Amino acid sequence: EAGVTQSPTHLIKTRGQQATLRCSPISGHTSVYWYQQALGLGLQFLLWYDEGEERNRGNFPPRFSGRQFPNYSSELNVNALELEDSALYLCASSLDVYRDSSYEQYFGPGTRLTVT
């Protein structure tokens, strides 16, 4: 079974630009989560998508947004990039927590975003 995949592996942008990160969940998983892992700050929850809808959002500004497609893959967009957005962005997926009573989240390898 293929795990969660993310692209690109690395992304270098300049301040003020926009970044788009992509995630494909494990087959059969319907929920996708995005987390930010900044150096020294641990893992911070960004967004949760389920069945194409945004279900929950962490304490991040509106310039962090995303969407989930009908095939359950997801995209994270970061607008007006700032230097402090440099981090590893991790995507995770899970089965439908409401239907399957499953809480387990499985992570992808991440996209390393560097803002210069």
Q: Tell me the C-alpha distance between 32 and 57, whole Å.
A: 12
Contacts of 40 (CB under 8 A, 6+ apart): none
Site map 95..114 versus other proteins, x via CB under 8 A:
--x-----xxxxxxxx----
Site string for other proteins, 19-58 (x = CB under 8 A): ------------x-x-x------xxxx--x-x----xx-x
CA separation for the pair 89, 38 (Å, rounded)? 8
Note the residues at the interface with other proteins (CB under 8 A): 4, 31, 33, 35, 42-45, 48, 50, 55-56, 58, 90, 92, 94, 97, 103-110
